[in-house]
């Protein structure tokens, strides 16, 4: 497929089937991730590849317990919250591997004031997000299904503890990778006229 086709046909695949993914394929999609642009070329991304089923399940169950707690706070009934958590565990279990994306401020600029520190942190997050998009596109190119989830943001403590992530490195995303069970139709997208402006906010495209 050409580049534009790869971009336009990529989908978030939530139903994955476990398959054997060769090590060289995993390295290729990770290498593609590291070719993303980054602020100051600091490359503030770090990735943890998890293919050990015990580690996957330990992580899934720990995050699910926090999910139940948060959903109940949101007004979910206990049974409904537990069902959501079980579905989350099942998704992780069916993935061939997980990739945890982390951000580090190592190599980023350091400022004394909060305004610029916040901007620098956002720049690092933007850099990691660009790397994740590259990873997703590369996985699609390799014929794999993948889905980007932000669950680690809501369970950073347990993710850090289970994966032995050092201080100063923050888990921010989880990418499930595996075989795609079926084709997924493109979800509806807002038209350009609704999301693009010309020169200023006062004029639409």
Residue 101 counted as domain residue: yes
Residue 57 counted as domain residue: yes
Q: Specify the pLDDT at position 181.
A: 78
Residue 205 counted as domain residue: no
Q: Specify the pLDDT at position 35.
A: 98
Residues paired with residue 45 on neighbouring β-strands, in sequence order = 103
Parent domain of 152: 3-183
Residue 196 counted as domain residue: no
How many domains does the chain divide into?
A: 1
130 backbone dihedrals φ, ψ, rounded to 5°: -65, -40
Q: Specify the pLDDT at position 195.
A: 96
Q: Specify the pLDDT at position 117.
A: 97
What is the DSSP track for the chain? --HHHHHHH-----SEE-----HHHHHHHHHHHHTS--GGG---EEEEEE--HHHHHHHHHHHHHHHHHHHHHTT--HHHHHHHHHHHHHHHHHSSEEEEEEEE-TTS---SSHHHHHHHHHHHHHHHHHHHHHHHHHHHHTT-EEEEE-GGGG-HHHHHHHHTPPTTEEEEEEEEEEEESS--PPPP---HHHH-EESEEEEE-
Q: Specify the pLDDT at position 64.
A: 96
Residue 194 counted as domain residue: no
For residue range 110-135, what is the model confidence (pLDDT) as tens digits? 999 999 999 999 999 999 999 999 99
What is the percentage of the chain residues whose pLDDT exceeds 90?
Answer: 95
Average pLDDT, the chain: 96
Mean pLDDT of 125-154: 97
Mean pLDDT of 45-74: 96
The Cα–Cα gap between 67 and 47 comes to: 23
Residue 141 counted as domain residue: yes
- Residue 182 clears pLDDT 80, i.e. is over it: no
- Residue 157 clears pLDDT 80, i.e. is over it: yes
Q: Specify the pLDDT at position 106.
A: 95
Residue 189 counted as domain residue: no
CA 8 to chain centre: 19
- Residue 205 clears pLDDT 90, i.e. is over it: no
Provide the CATH number for the domain around residue 49. Answer: 3.40.109.10
For residue range 9-57, what is the model confidence (pLDDT) as tens digits? 999 999 999 999 999 999 999 999 999 999 999 999 999 999 999 999 9
Residues 6+ apart with CB under 8 A from 194: none
The Cα–Cα gap between 51 and 21 comes to: 10
For residue range 87-117, what is the model confidence (pLDDT) as tens digits? 999 999 999 999 999 999 999 999 999 999 9
CA angle, corner 109, sides to 107 and 110, nearest 5?
A: 115
Of the candidates 3, 15, 8, the one whose C-alpha atom is nearest the C-alpha of residue 178 is 15
pLDDT band for position 153 (50/70/90)? very high
- Residue 203 clears pLDDT 80, i.e. is over it: yes
């Amino acid at each position: 497929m050409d580049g534009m086709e790869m971009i336009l046909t990529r989908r978030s695949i939530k139903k994955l089937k476990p398959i054997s993914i060769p090590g060289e394929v995993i390295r290729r999609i990770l290498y593609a991730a590291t070719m993303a642009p980054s602020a100051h070329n600091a490359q503030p991304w770090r990735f943890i590849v998890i293919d050990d089923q015990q580690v996957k399940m330990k992580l899934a169950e720990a995050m699910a317990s926090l999910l139940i707690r948060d959903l109940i706070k949101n007004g979910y009934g206990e049974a409904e919250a537990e069902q959501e958590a079980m579905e989350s565990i099942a998704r992780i279990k069916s993935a061939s591997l997980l990739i945890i994306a982390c951000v580090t401020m190592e190599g980023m600029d350091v400022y004394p004031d909060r305004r610029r520190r916040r901007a620098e942190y956002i720049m690092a997050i933007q850099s990691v997000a660009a790397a994740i998009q590259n990873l997703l596109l590369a996985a699609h190119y390799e014929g794999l299904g993948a889905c980007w989830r932000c669950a680690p943001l809501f369970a950073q403590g347990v993710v850090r503890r289970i994966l032995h992530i050092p201080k100063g490195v923050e888990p921010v995303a989880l990418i499930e990778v595996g075989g795609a069970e079926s084709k997924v139709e493109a979800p509806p997208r807002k038209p350009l006229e609704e999301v693009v402006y010309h020169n200023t906010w006062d004029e639409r495209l």
